[in-house]
Each structure stands twice: as C-alpha cells, then as structure tokens.
C-alpha cells in the first residue's frame, strides 16, 4: 500500500494481521485494522514552509474524523523538542501544532534515527493517539545495518500484539544484470516453482529481490577497511546513542 507518488509504503508482513487500505495522498498512506489506524508519512526536506503546512493540513483532514486509535510513523524532516531535538525549527512547531490539535504525542526518546557525515538527527518519528498509555507499547531504534543512513524503528503494541516496523532503505531499481541473477536464483533454489501459487511466487521473487538490492546497496569500502574497524564503528555508534539518551 503506497502513497500517490511511491515515497512511502505500508507492507503487511504478518499473516495474522488483517490490514486493509484506507486512503492516500502525496507522501501519506493510511491503512486500518479492526481497531487501529496505521499511517505512513514522508515529507521532503526541500519543500517550503508553506508546502509543509499544506502537507500537515492534509494529514489533519484525513485523521481528524477517525474514531480508532492511530499509529503514525514516518520521516517528517523537522527539528522538534517533542522528539528529543535540542530545538524546534518552524516545521517542528507546525508538527507540534498538528499533534496538539489531534490529541497525539510523539514517543521518540531522542535516540537518533538518522546519521550522515557524523551528523545525527531524530527525523523518523512515531506519533500515537493520546488514548494509548506508555505501558501499552515498546519502542526502540534498531542497530542493524539496512543499507541506509536511516535506522529502522520498531514499535510493539502490547494490546493486540501489533508489530509495526519502519525501514527506510536507499531506493534503487534492479538493473538488467540484477534481474537475471534474481531469475536464476529463483529457478535454481525453487525447483518446484511451477507448483507455486501466485501469492507464493510473488513472495519468493520479492525475497530474492530484497537480497539482491541489499547486497548491492552497501556503501563502498575503501582498501583499508577491515572487520576490526567495522567492530569499532558499531561500538562507537552504540556509545554515541547512549550518550545522547543520557
């Protein structure tokens, strides 16, 4: 389930969760379960303040009439004290106004979700309905390398055991050579492919494509890079996050 321009996607990875598409606009897509609204958001860092305000207005129009509890996750590209930033910029103030008008709050705990060229920020936010208390969820930023300068955010809702993950990867389309490798792997690994159902076949191809994209989407390593240096880098990242939390 994607927004109108393909900037943000909601994907149901659970066979137990009945998730259906509800509505979408540019940079915003909404799905729902029997009791919950799940929204994904992405807004470009390059848009003007006026366009940012219009974007948030569209979110308000969509969510203001909802009676179900809401989970909204996305890259809002703003600086907000509500997410743990040291200051508010104008976009952060506008987002705070939106949350106040809807009765939502941000559950980020100032753990950075973005890192590039030594700079850390809390760009990927989790915003939930105020009717949910802090004892009803667990939230954390994951350490796994996902071939992106953004880290995955995991939210586990205890009521109903709802899992929501956000994983913003660097976008890339498979080349002709990559497509050939994907087809060869699928044909070799799954010998009984002709017996697969359309849904099973789609899942198999998607899994192989994800593997191929992850394998080729890694940042290039210089000649002096080693496993030892990689270990120091991971330790430094964890120490930096702990210091930021403190």
Give the residues across from 119 on adjacent strands: 116
**CATH code matching the domain that covers 20-166, chosen among 3.60.10.10, 3.40.50.300, 3.90.105.10, 3.30.420.40:** 3.60.10.10
The answer to which of 36-40, 42-46, 95-99, 173-177 has the lowest mean pLDDT is 173-177
- DSSP assignment string, the chain: -B-TTSS-B-----SS---EEEEEETTEEEEE-SSEEEEEEE--TTS-HHHHHHHHHHHHHHHTT--SEEEEEEE-----GGGT-SS--HHHHHHHHHHHHHTEEE---S---EEETTEEE--EEEEEETTS-GGGEEEEE-----SSSB--EEEEETTTTEEEEE--PPP----HHHHHHHHHHHHHH-TTGGGS-HHHHHHHHHHHHHHHHHHHSSPPPPTT--HHHHHHHHHHHHHHHHHHH-
Cα separation, 164 vs 227, in Å, equals 32
What value does the mean pLDDT of the chain take?
Answer: 78
Query: Which burial class, exposed, middle or buried, applies to 145 when counting CB atoms under 10 A from its CB (0-12, 13-18, 19+)?
Result: middle
Cβ atoms of residues 216 and 209 within 8 Å: no
Cα separation, 62 vs 31, in Å, equals 12
Would you say residue 133 has pLDDT above 60? yes
pLDDT score of 62: 94
Cα separation, 11 vs 164, in Å, equals 10
pTM beyond 0.75: the answer is no
- For the chain, give the percent of residues with pLDDT over 70: 74
Question: pLDDT by residue (tens digit) across 176-228?
Answer: 777 788 778 777 776 666 677 777 777 777 777 767 665 654 444 444 556 77
Cα separation, 110 vs 122, in Å, equals 6
Would you say residue 68 has pLDDT above 70? yes
Question: pLDDT by residue (tens digit) across 152-162?
Answer: 787 877 765 55
pLDDT score of 51: 94
Cα separation, 13 vs 19, in Å, equals 10
Would you say residue 165 has pLDDT above 70? no
Question: pLDDT by residue (tens digit) across 56-65?
Answer: 999 999 999 8
């Amino acid at each position: 389930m994607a927004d109108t321009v393909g900037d943000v996607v909601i994907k149901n990875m659970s066979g137990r969760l009945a998730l259906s598409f509800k509505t979408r606009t540019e940079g915003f897509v909404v799905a729902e379960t029997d009791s919950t609204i799940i929204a994904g958001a992405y807004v470009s860092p390059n848009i003007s303040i006026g366009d940012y305000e219009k974007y948030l207005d569209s979110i308000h129009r969509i969510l203001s009439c909802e009676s179900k509890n809401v989970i909204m996750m996305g890259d809002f590209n703003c600086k907000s004290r509500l997410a743990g930033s040291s200051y508010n910029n104008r976009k952060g103030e506008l987002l705070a106004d939106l949350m106040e008008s809807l009765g939502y709050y941000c559950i980020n705990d100032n753990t950075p979700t973005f890192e590039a060229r030594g700079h850390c920020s809390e760009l990927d936010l989790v915003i939930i309905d105020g009717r949910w208390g802090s004892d009803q969820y667990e939230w954390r930023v994951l350490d796994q390398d996902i071939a992106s300068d953004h880290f995955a955010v995991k939210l586990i809702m205890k009521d109903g055991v709802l899992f929501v993950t956000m994983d913003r990867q660097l976008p890339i389309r498979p080349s002709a050579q990559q497509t050939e490798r994907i087809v060869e792997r699928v044909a070799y690994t799954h010998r009984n492919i002709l017996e697969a159902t359309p849904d099973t076949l789609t899942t198999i191809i998607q899994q192989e494509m994800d593997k191929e994209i992850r394998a080729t989407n890694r940042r290039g390593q210089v000649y002096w890079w080693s496993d030892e240096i990689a270990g120091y880098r991971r330790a430094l990242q964890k120490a930096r996050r702990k210091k930021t939390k403190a």
